[in-house]
Amino acid sequence: MKRRVRSGTHLMCSLEVHTITRKPMSWHDNLEEPADARFLNLIHHTAQGPKKKYPETQTENQEVGWDLEPLVNPERHDRRLNHFRVCSDITLYKAKTWGLGDDRHK
């Protein structure tokens, strides 16, 4: 299909124009076509995550989350790595005064 295309102030004659999208109500575009195995494999390959596609990182941004194993063994009883909320007499007293609405002790 040849059309005249206007580009800025010039008229470009006899430029080939190819339609990419199909028309949903056209009978010749809705004919069943055989499945292309190479194309389907390409689509499935691109839909995979980067860890399944590549053995190593491809960009520097991928290096951040590539290895999911922690560098340090997360031990729950090690107080240097885990800061749990500890209740003492002072913290319980302050929680009660805030719960009562006493604004003097802020």
Q: List the domain boundaries for the chain.
A: 27-100
pLDDT digits (tens, 9 = 90+) for 35-67: 788 888 888 888 888 888 889 988 888 888 888
Report the pLDDT value the prediction gives residue 19, as an integer from 0 to 100.
63
Distance in angstroms (rounded) separating the CA atoms of residues 2 and 17: 6
- Go through 42-60 and write b for each residue having 16 or more CB atoms within 10 A of its CB, e for each that does not: eeeeeeeeeeeeeeeeeee
Report the pLDDT value the prediction gives residue 105, as an integer from 0 to 100.
54
Residues shown for the chain: 106
pLDDT digits (tens, 9 = 90+) for 62-88: 888 888 887 777 777 777 777 777 788
Please tell me the pTM assigned to this model. 0.34
Q: What is the dihedral of CA 8, 10, 11, 14, to 10 degrees?
A: -100
Q: How confident is the model at residue 1 (pLDDT cuts 50, 70, 90)?
A: low
